[in-house]
Amino acid sequence: VADPRKTAAGGLAVALADALNTTGGMWFGWSGNIVKDGATGEGELHTQQAGNVTLATVDLSQEDHDGYYLGYSNDVLWPVFHYRLDLARFDAGHIDAYRRVNRLFARKLMGLLKPDDIIWVHDYHLIPLASELRAMGCNNRIGFFLHIPLPPQLVLAAIPQHEWLMRALFAHDLVGFQSEADLLHFSRYVQAEANATALGNDRFRAYNRTVRAGAFPIGIDVDEFQALTRAKDGMDMYHRMKEEYSRRKLLLGVERLDYSKGLPQRMRSFRTLLQKYPENLNSATLIQIASPSREDMGAYADLLREMESLCGSINGNYGELDWMPIRYMHRNVARKRLPGLYRAARVALVTPLRDGMNLVAKEFIAAQDENDPGVLVLSRFAGAAEQLEHALLVNPYDIDGTAEVIQQALQMPLEERQARHEKLLYRIRRHDVHWWRKSFLDALAGTDSTDQRNQVSWRKPPRNEDVSPVNQG
């Protein structure tokens, strides 16, 4: 749970802090504390005030944390939802912990709710929370937003408990996804696997309930990020990078070290760039920031070793005494310094193998100098690709093809860079984080959890045209 008075983390915290600080309310979830004494009973509930927002958090036992968070959430749902069945570990004990913790959360939350509260549940860790609340008699409006991708029907059906998970989604009044592709996967799954009836207007009837589904692509706070870019830390970083790399063309990648981000494929594409286009030797430098992530899990340790080997090999084969092709950083960089780094880069490489949205792409656009903007190279498998079609889209599995597009980005003339950036900036400003929050809550307000016929309609934003931030029937 994030403190809404401290929104430096950006993204979700910014969006929800804005909503909660405006209306008042409660932010409920895990405290981040793990009880080390082996207790497996109910966690302790903590409450504190943060302005007009109540923070309500629950501690978890070590057993529950390991089974619920590390086990089912990150060893089953995360890999499967990112299409990596080969990395999933279907341990029966993990699903028990996942159910147990969601039941615990529901019990703790139920006693804090008021009859007119609207409940907005976030992400894959809490899919069954609404069904547990309904079982306890909760009739409040409940919306759910999935921040990661939803895989196709047959991939999702590989989860042994997939029907139970989908049944749990129908306990919500509104289910939101990052992209139209995710919405399509949901539609096909519920009709094929749950025999759901499509009622039109993205409403589906199954398990004696009607749920509305929609695509609500999350954005960033463009003004806030541009202010960070102009702030002292951002500008200091920008000027330092421009001075240090005055004779180089700077490429940049920023993400967590995660197998969904396509980092080894990116390094191989950069190596191919140097092989096929030797004019980039002693000229192009890739700064790759890969923040530590879940390093106690086997797949991440393997990825770390692969990245270190690849970067060392490329630098050893192509580097000079005064030039290293790759500057690889396996640590966190302060958010207040990132905008300056984005602004200094000629090209940003955002090439995940699969991503729900990817806000780095949008932050890069916001940080650019509109008179001399950099170029965004974006994976077609990131949710952001549906909105940012004026970026250079690539298939990250195609190593040679990606290298060719990177070369195109490095050689792009100023006029084309300006034209692309103008269109991209317009799109991320039009559909920013505040639009995301308002459009979802407006749609949720158009549902009625006590009338499962759900006769009220709403309009989702068209994919390829810009609309007003207000979307309501």
Q: Which of 64, 75, 258, 355 is catalytic?
A: 355
Residue with tokens 């063309």: 249
Burial of 243 (0-12, 13-18, 19+ CB in 10 A): exposed
Active site residue 65: no
DSSP per residue, 377-401 = EEETTBGGGGT-TTSEEE-TT-HHH
Strand partners, 284: 249
Strand partners, 142: 119
Cα–Cα distance measured from residue 144 to residue 398, given in angstroms and rounded to the nearest whole number: 35
Is residue 290 within 8 Å of 311, Cβ to Cβ? no
Phi, psi of 129 (to 5 degrees): -60, -45
Active site residue 172: no
Q: Which of 147, 162, 330, 442 is catalytic?
A: 147
Nearest CA-CA partner of 279 in 411, 416, 413, 414? 411
Question: What 8-state DSSP symbol labels residue 69?
Answer: I
DSSP per residue, 88-122 = ----HHHHHHHHHHHHHHHHHHHTT--TT--EEEE
The count of residues in the chain is 473
- Which residues are catalytic, by number? 147, 355
